[in-house]
Structure 1
Amino acid sequence: MTAQGKKTVRDLRRGSRSTLLRRLYFDGPLSRQELGTLTGLSAGSVSNVTGELLADGLIEECGSVESDGGRPRIMLRVAPGRAHLVGVDVGETQVRVALFDLARTELAASDRPLSDCGHDADHVVELILAGLAEVLERTGTDPASVLGVGIGVPGIVEQGDPASDGLGIVVHGQTVGWDAVPLGRLLRAGTDLPLFVDNGAKTLGQAEMWFGAGRGVRHAVIALFGSGVGACVVADGARFRGATSSAGEWGHTKVHVGGRRCRCGARGCLEAYVGAEALLERWEAAPSGVGEKAGIAALLAAAEAGEPAAAELLAEAAEYLGAAIADLVNLFNPERIVIGGWAGLLLGPRLLPAIRTAATAYALRFPREQTSIVLGTLGPEAVTVGAATLPLTEFLESGGEPPRRSADLPRALPTGRS
């Protein structure tokens, strides 16, 4: 039996594979010499481990570069077609399921509107499983090549026992009526693929930190501004979760004591003033019979055309957001605050200057001077991309080990939560 805290040869090998895979994934293509310099591994270790990864088909050669006085250096990269990832965004109006290769190229997507059932858990599960089947069938993808299904949801996620194969995943989504929904068990009844579930704002945060506007900093807050409002707090490079993984419910911090009623049931929440749903409720001229995205686009167009009520509403929203961002600055002292989400990106170009001005007025001067406030760069579907990084994280941390599959599971769709 291995002494506690002592690493085995297998542990060391897995660690070396993970180190090289991560470096190639985020910074490749790289030569073996560059890998040695960047990772601190010996030339022999780099040669042995890259040989294993090449033999496993996880990395591939992709050309060569001239070296000073020697043979050309062979460049290596993670093989993009070696495996696939699925990302799911359980949004306010639809469920989006997307299939990616390892280079994050979207191969297929399925957008399924929520019906009159809304966020009924069984209905959402049915849409996820139907979308998953669709993207696999359309691309002819072998399910065995899928590393897992990552899902971003509105709410707080309890992961349960890691050994339960996803069965212990439970979601508390107060704003959508989810009270301890056993999402893992409901999904497991319809698929044996590995399951990974997290809050949508946290998946957005991981995507922007890895590939977008947050890259290169260690302390950041990524804000999701859509129908509702959320945030992902990143402290020293890691997503901060709190005691029960509910850290980042920024939309339910209070900006007006005794103010407007929020979807969560409380009064005065930030979300009740700047969420897309709230903005349209407060705009008397909002068009009827259109979706939220069309409504917010109309609000923006009216403000740009000089319509006083629309311009005043957006100016007020910018001040509320700026004040709330000042709270983030004072509480967490981030290097960067990134505003994302479909509504944030749609309204951001107009609101960002006023948001920055308000944040400066309300925040402590010294930490505000150290913080940049920027828009996300990954587009309105960044939650889906971030969800796909959940199985990708497991793949990289394991050194490319194949994921476990659940065996002999019932394939019928669930009909209830009992």
Structure 2
Amino acid sequence: MQPMRAGSKALIREINAALVLGELRAQPLQSRTDLAKRTGLSLPTISEIVSELLSTGIVEERATGRSAGGRRPVLLALKPDAGYVVGIKLTETRVIAVLTDMEATIVARDVTAVPDTSVGTVVDAVAAAVERVREAAHGRLVHGVGVGMAGVVDRASGVVRHATYSDWHDVDLTGLLAARVGLPVVLDNDVNTLVANEKWFGAGRGVDDVLVVSIGRGVGLGLVLDGRLYRGATGGAGEFGHTKVVPDGPRCACGGHGCLEALIGEPALRAQASAVLGRTVDLDEAAAVARQGNPAVQEIFRAVGRLLGTAVGNLVNLLNPRLVVLAGEGTRVSDLFRPDFDRALSLAVFDGLQHGLETIVDTWDDEAWAQGAAGMFLGELFQPNLRPDEAGRPSLTARTAG
């Protein structure tokens, strides 16, 4: 277990400031009295924290609310231009970069080609993309860079234990990037960046138990459990696509057989549709044929719904979430598998656990994944430094308390 910082007035101020900032992120335009009620802190403590946040330019007074008798309350919100964050989505062939303000609103974007997946080439491409989008900050503060990529990422150390689409093992990508761009860098599995964005800015806002299932070339899973992003002991939680669903099924890229990803990932669907049609087709062509009424190709997508619905139903039985989000590029064909998914999910879920369960489809493109990486960094930025080894981690609350 990692040691926690000893209790001190500075640490208490950091934690209290994090509570206030968290409330303003979740619901802007609150009065000091509102914040006291929601956080449980005293009004004098709230007033002191707000005064510090106003002086550092993190929070601003925007409007006045309705009076309940007496002076009209002043309403507070995060100041969007109190700094910027770069978000990066790494793929096999591209670096997708965005610059966002403090509310994760995109203000600049860039796409950089990556000719190969060697570590040096990727670091060069990321550094070039960061430099280009930083120009839109016009010299104002850029807090740091959030990076999402497919693979097993040790979030605590910033080391890539295994990269899904390249031969990387135990690469300190965080350290390499931070040294190159001269900014703090936070690295995580790309699905976790989706989860962070859903939790803070999307459908998961205010929901404590959320599953985000990404479907596309691979199948991934991100988890918010009891209000916290769950990564596992070494950052490997969520390898949902490599759960075995068909004994002795087709061989997966991981080397195993019968993995969910080997059955419903985009390469598998392309191969199945191409075999049925007698010609090579991509996913969009296969979907077009299915929508035109071809029953054999329709059945391919219906099978996706049944397999995915049953697998997600098993997750619901294990984790009892309030919200399930289907995301990723594969959702563009969700109209073809959603009815079978819903039926299979309903059949698989244990009686009673469907009560209050919501399932939605949230279509994300690569730019949105990059925005998620920025949102992930923002999430880190608004947290206190609770352990001694986090003293150098970017934290607005530590800066405010200091």
Please say whether Structure 1 and Structure 2 have the same fold, judged by a TM-score greater than 0.5: yes
Partner of 1:308: 295
SS in 2 for 1:69: coil
- Separation of aligned partners in 2, 1:287 and 1:7: 67
Partner of 1:136: 134
Alignment partner for residue 246 of structure 1, among 225, 236, 251? 236
Q: How far is 1:26 from its partner? A: 1.6
**Is the Cα contact below 8 Å between 1:208 and 1:377 reproduced in 2?**
no
Alignment partner for residue 157 of structure 1, among 131, 153, 159? 153
Alignment partner for residue 119 of structure 2, among 105, 118, 121? 121
Partner of 1:187: 177
1:323–1:286: structure 2 CA closer, same or farther, 3 Å change rule?
farther
Q: Which amino acid aligns with 1:311?
A: Q
Q: How far is 1:62 from its partner? A: 0.7
The yes-or-no answer on 1:337 pairing with 2:298 is no
Q: Which runs of 5+ in 2 are unaligned?
A: 385-394
**Is the Cα contact below 8 Å between 2:84 and 2:137 reproduced in 1?**
no
Partner of 1:50: 50
**Is the Cα contact below 8 Å between 2:327 and 2:362 reproduced in 1?**
yes
1:401–1:67: structure 2 CA closer, same or farther, 3 Å change rule?
same
The yes-or-no answer on 1:389 pairing with 2:375 is yes
Q: How far is 1:215 from its partner? A: 2.6
- Separation of aligned partners in 2, 1:367 and 1:280: 34
SS in 2 for 1:176: coil
Q: How far is 1:186 from its partner? A: 2.8
**Is the Cα contact below 8 Å between 2:18 and 2:397 reproduced in 1?**
no
Partner of 1:322: 309
**Is the Cα contact below 8 Å between 1:66 and 1:72 reproduced in 2?**
yes
Q: Which amino acid aligns with 1:128?
A: V
Q: How far is 1:401 from its partner? A: 4.7
Q: How far is 1:93 from its partner? A: 4.3
Q: Which runs of 5+ in 1 are unaligned?
A: 162-167, 404-418
**Is the Cα contact below 8 Å between 2:223 and 2:238 reproduced in 1?**
yes
- Separation of aligned partners in 1, 2:358 and 2:189: 25
- Separation of aligned partners in 2, 1:361 and 1:281: 29
SS in 1 for 2:396: coil
1:402–1:296: structure 2 CA closer, same or farther, 3 Å change rule?
farther
Normalised by the length of structure 2, the TM-score is 0.88
Partner of 1:209: 199
Partner of 1:65: 65
Q: Would you say how many aligned residue pairs link Structure 1 and Structure 2?
A: 384
- Separation of aligned partners in 2, 1:247 and 1:220: 14
1:18–1:286: structure 2 CA closer, same or farther, 3 Å change rule?
farther
- Separation of aligned partners in 1, 2:174 and 2:366: 26
Alignment partner for residue 336 of structure 2, among 325, 350, 353? 350
Q: Which amino acid aligns with 2:146?
A: G
SS in 2 for 1:397: coil
- Separation of aligned partners in 2, 1:226 and 1:286: 23
Q: How far is 1:204 from its partner? A: 0.9
- Separation of aligned partners in 2, 1:216 and 1:336: 11
**Is the Cα contact below 8 Å between 1:219 and 1:235 reproduced in 2?**
yes
- Separation of aligned partners in 2, 1:191 and 1:287: 46
Aligned residues with identical type, % of pairs: 33
Q: Which amino acid aligns with 2:23?
A: R
- Separation of aligned partners in 2, 1:370 and 1:303: 33
Alignment partner for residue 163 of structure 2, among 166, 173, 194? 173
CA RMSD of aligned residues (A): 2.3
Normalised by the length of structure 1, the TM-score is 0.85
